Chain A
Amino acid sequence: MALKASELKVGDVYEEQVATNLSRTQIVQYAGASGDYMPLHSDEVYAREIAGYPGVFAHGMLSMGATGVMLTNWVGDGRLTKYSARFTRQVWPGDDLIAKATVTEIHEEDGHQVAELDVVTVNQDDQPVINGKATARLDA
């Protein structure tokens, strides 16, 4: 289901929890599916002893992918025209992720109504892990 421009207004918010107690296994799953086998994300020994991190952490792109679940659940399938994210903080095993989109503008683009969205994903301590933006095509 797509959103309707007539029923949407600036300031509208949609929020969804997109990860709960994030597991090392899901990080490995993402490594396999994406092909990004960077050992920082799946190899505890390497992450600690070579890279100097407390342990493995999630791919930024796993958080962006999980945040995308919230976006497509809200704006509908195939409705995103743009999506960008800055990775502001690492995501660790055990983290919860809550993704939120806020409408900042509704306007016409290439003959369609579109919504500009501010996107932020926070962890269980309310610290932002992703700051992003998205644009979605709306129904009239």
Chain B
Amino acid sequence: MAEFTFPVDGSQIMLFARSVGDANPIYYDEEYAKTTEPGGVIAPPTFVQASSQYDPKFPLRPRIGEPWFGSGKEATGIKPKEKSAGDGEKKSGGDNARMLHAEQQYVYHKPIRPGDKLTVTTKKGNTWEKEGRRGGTMTFSEVVTEYRDESGDLVVTATSVGVTTGKAVSQD
């Protein structure tokens, strides 16, 4: 189980709402938000994803001074690992490249507001395998994340299902 703190601020809510194409002023205009049922600025439904910015171990964020698996001079910044039998010329960065998000579930207990200091705990859920038509053998794994406020009350419960595919998912 991992734990970190997610301080929620208004600018991050505004930027997040913009990025999903949400023009609702409740996400940035305090005067307007006072006139709404929640009575103040709140976060949009999928906002807790932004907690990854505060997750010290989040793998999909470049680390200062460390090589990054995206492109720079080369198509990936990670040096290829040693070849093993049957691997052909497996390029590094490939394991991450096969990782996709399959499903996401949220249960909402309370609105998230600017100024909230959420405690985020994650634990692993189930893992299972499936033969896929488009992506070869697929390995699914579940992660359950709880967001609690300073009184310890649950604010959001999020369950994420990730899938590692055997090959790039075909487009037909």
Measured CB to CB, the residues of A under 8 A from B are: 2, 18-19, 26, 29-30, 32-40, 42-43, 45-46, 49-54, 59-62, 64-66, 68-69, 71-73, 76-87, 90
Contact = CB atoms under 8 A, between A and B. Distances in A.
B106 interface: yes
A73 to B, nearest CB: 7
Contact of B102 (A53, A54, A81, A87): A87
A51 B97 contact: yes
Interface of B is mostly: loop
Contacts of A37: 60-62, 70
A118 to B, nearest CB: 15
A22 to B, nearest CB: 9
Contacts of B53: 35
A43 B97 CA distance: 12
A69 B19 contact: no
B117 interface: no
A80 B105 CA distance: 12
A77 B75 contact: no
Contacts of B1: none
B97 A60 contact: no
A61 B21 contact: no
